[in-house]
Structure 1
Amino acid sequence: MTQAPSSPDHARFARAAEPGTQAPIHTSSQGLLAGPVKIPTQGGTMPAYRAAPATPGPHPVVLVVQEIFGLHEHIEDVVRRLAKQGYLAIAPALYFRLGDPAQVGSIDELMQQYVYKTPDAQVLADLDATLAWVDQQQSGSANPLGITGFCWGGRITWLYAAHQPRVKAAVAWYGRLEGKTSPLAPRQPADVVGELKAPVLGLYGGQDTGIPADSVERMQAALAQHGQGDSQIHVYPEAPHAFFADYRPSYRAHDARDGWQRLLDWFQRHGVRP
């Protein structure tokens, strides 16, 4: 990851997230084709942020799935970081039908107004639509395909790895593994372990109060039970939730850098390589 001067203006990120004490990482778009795009999907035109090397493609593709806070500057920066590595990376705004979650002032409001109103099936279909859009841009060459996501998007990453057979590798950052289900969220990652179509690397914090250690241990046991030996979970013992989010107090630079290198190595190992 490349550190460069960054504006401390937290409004570019998410109002509901407590701002960190240092300037967030900012990755330059120099040498990239980067910016907003629009993707046709059921129910409207979905905004997204795309970045890719300015050199001719096709490039390997990575879908980037937003945090609970939606598509904002941090997720866009992750997209640019991947593009600097030679990927066409794209992050769709998966709450777009409901408004802009980055402007919501509290986690509780986010849960009530966005998370609890967004069906998993719709999210998976929107990611499929994003993949179809990329196919059109790259003459149908969206293979190899990887996916990564953070927090809310970490959970979705597990689900998408069980949904989309074109995924070759997935990296889920501190996404919930178990919990209550509902008509809009009928299954959790632990329920789809036997259906994974690609190896998943899970990156979790040992001090994450929302994802207890026994939940991670049960997921590891389920992966072994279902013969998903290519998938694995790495736990950073002292890291809290959102340890990769460099714009928040939860950021842990050492663990974030290590996780990022593990992500790159995971994609390389499983054939999602420039």
Structure 2
Amino acid sequence: MDQRIINLFDEYTHKPLKREDFIRQLIRLTGGMAAAMAVLPMLESNYARAATIQPLQEGLREEDITYPGEGTTMKGYLVRPDEAGKRGAVVVIHENRGLTPHIKDVTRRVAKAGYLALAPDALSPFGGTPANEDEARGMFGKLEAPKNLHNFLNAFDYLESRPEYNGKAGCVGFCWGGALTNQMAVHHPALKAAVPFYGTQPAASDVPKIKAAMQMHYGEKDDRVNAGIPAFEAALKAAGIKYELYIYEGTQHAFHNDTSAARYNEAAAKLAWERTLRLFGETLG
């Protein structure tokens, strides 16, 4: 697909570009309304493409949970292995579409690997993630950053109440959630591992606060996010922080999201996920 189309969609999903303006520019790039409407489903999420681990699969248990937030009640989706015993926990942080079926599927993948997996819903202050993704994206601009940060930090406090929890926690996030995963690493000194996928980087001055093992995944063609890599890596090196940094050749932003045909890269997604689970295996046992 024309890289200009991918870049336009990235602008639409991350900047204040109205849908009518996005469609107008998409028509211009594709040459007509029919072509634009043919391309659009390849860009937007199609949850039927995902669900590689179905809800209630044998060996897993799922719950809709709540925990105290900053002036709100936070909602979350929790999945755990049915087998008794203590285990590490992973907080899964969604993209700027909210707690979607795709992120719930990723949460089940984490649990299938043997962890207590919790995906909080950032849009809980507004009643939770709506079905309409455009509506959800609009809500993100209304979130108060300090309160949102604490709402996710409080997820780790909630995990302390779970009898299955062994006291070791990691975090993985995607896009908006990748940026917030970096902030979890900065602000939660007990975090053992942080895995941001194509997330914007923290301020270099905040990097020395990180205690977690870091593992970052980026798409080669994601110029917007990748611009911050050099300063982040230099700060990690200067602070002596353990990290792994991977840039996947030929891939786009959101290459791990298997609901987006135009940007998903199966080989890179599989390799990045294997590396993610390997780090959790090293740090959360």
Q: TM-score range by the shorter chain?
A: 0.7 to 0.9
1: CA distance, partners of 2:51 / 2:279? 22
For the pair 1:53 / 2:81, whether they are aligned, the reply is yes
TM-score by length of 2: 0.78
Aligned partners of 1:25 and 1:246 also within 8 Å: no
- 1:251 matches 2:264: yes
Structure-2 change in CA distance of 1:117 and 1:42 (3 Å): same
Q: Which residue of 2 aligns with 1:160?
A: 184
The 1:192/1:122 distance shift into structure 2, 3 A limit, reads same
SS at match of 1:156: helix
Q: What do residues 205-240 of structure 1 show as CA deviations (whole Å, max 9, x unaligned)?
A: 01114213x421222122112222x11311112110
Residue of structure 1 equivalent to 2:67: 39
Question: How far apart in 2 are the matches of 1:189 and 1:71?
Answer: 26
Shift of 1:121: 2.2
Q: How does 1:80-229 map to 2 (within 5 A)?
A: 80-106=108-134, 113-138=138-163, 141-177=165-201, 188-212=202-226, 214-228=227-241
Q: Select 1:235's aligned residue among 237, 247, 261.
A: 247
Q: Deviations over 1:50-107 (max 9, x none)?
A: 000111132210011111111011111111111111100000101211244443453x
Instruction: Report the more deviating stretch, 56-65 or 124-133.
Output: 124-133
Answer whether contact 2:47 2:102 (CA < 8 A) is retained.
Answer: no
CA drift at 1:135: 1.3
Q: CA deviation at 1:189?
A: 4.5
Question: Are the aligned partners of 1:143 and 1:166 in contact in 2 as well (CA < 8 Å)?
Answer: no
Instruction: Give distance in 1, aligned partners of 2:219 and 2:166.
Output: 32
What is the CA distance between 1:149 and its match in structure 2? 0.5
Counterpart-to-counterpart distance in 1, 2:151 and 2:166: 16
How far apart are the structure 1 equivalents of 2:225 and 2:130?
23
What does the per-residue CA deviation read over 1:224-261, in whole Å, with 9 as the maximum and x for residues that have no partner? Answer: 12222x11311112110000100012110000000000
Alignment partner, residue 24 of structure 1: 50
Instruction: Indicate if the aligned counterparts of 2:52 and 2:105 stay in contact, CA closer than 8 A.
Output: yes
Structure 2 distance, partners of 1:21, 1:122, is 30
| Residues 103 and 263 of structure 1, relative CA distance in 2, 3 Å threshold | same
Of all paired residues, the percent bearing the same amino acid is 30
Counterpart of 1:32, as a letter, is L
Structure number with bigger Rg:
2
Q: Does 1:69 align with 2:97?
A: yes
In structure 2, the residue corresponding to 1:94 is in which secondary structure? coil
For residue 278 of structure 2, what is the aligned residue in structure 1?
Answer: 265
In 2, the alpha carbon distance for the partners of 1:224 and 1:79 equals 31
Aligned-CA RMSD value? 2.2
SS at match of 2:74: strand
Please say if residues 134 and 142 of structure 1, whose CA atoms lie closer than 8 Å, have aligned partners that are also in contact: no
1:222 partner amino acid: A
Q: Tell me if the contact between 2:185 and 2:210 (Cα under 8 Å) persists in the aligned partners.
A: yes
TM-score by length of 1: 0.80
Give the distance between the partners of 1:20 and 1:103, measured in 2 at CA: 12
* Counterpart residue identity of residue 150, structure 1: F
CA distance in 2: counterparts of 1:129 and 1:238, whole angstroms: 37
Which runs of 4 or more aligned residues in structure 1 lie more than 6 Å from their structure 2 counterparts after TM superposition?
A: none
For the 8 Å contact 1:24–1:247, the answer to whether it is kept is yes
Contact 1:155 1:189 in 2 (8 A): no
Give secondary structure in 1 for the equivalent of 2:147. Answer: helix
3-state secondary structure, aligned to 1:247? coil
